[in-house]
Amino acid sequence: MKKGTQNYPLIAIFIFIFSLAFPLLLLPIEKILPYPYILEEVAKAILILLALRISSKNFQIKLAIFIAFLFAFSENFFYLSVFAQNESLPIFFQRFIITSLLHILTALIILLPSQKNSRLFFPAILIAMLFHFLYNHAILSFL
């Protein structure tokens, strides 16, 4: 598929499905390899790579935000029952907002440099992984 082709609906459907499915698919892998910051950023990067196939840079940005939000939504959905059982829904909503912002920020960290130069794609993934790693450790220090 060449960049700029009019397969936006097909790409969008694929991205929608996998943005929601990746957290579910990664869950068993994260039990074996406890490095969520690596696995999650690689999963988002795969979807962002698809978004980069679209010619409109503005649409790429919107798609990256969409990918990140759906990823965070799906990831947080797994925690909803735990928070509901512990009667801590306000904490769940705080977590939802913070993780959504994290995933949006890391998606943009991957996308924006990659729009300028495709050689920056892999270094941008590494920076996103580092940011995600620091976020996870900051959250754990508060618990």
Q: What is the DSSP code string of 104-143?
A: HHHHHHHHHHHHH-GGGHHHHHHHHHHHHHHHHHHHHHH-
> What mean pLDDT is predicted for residues 89-117?
94
**Least confident span in 3-12, 16-25, 72-81, 134-143:** 3-12
List the chain domain ranges: 8-142
106 neighbors 68 (Cβ within 8 angstroms) = yes
The confidence score (pLDDT) of residue 84 equals 77
d(CA 140, CA 14): 33
Name residue, tokens 């939802």.
96
User: In the predicted model, is pLDDT for residue 1 greater than 50?
Assistant: no
0.75 cut: is pTM over it?
Answer: yes
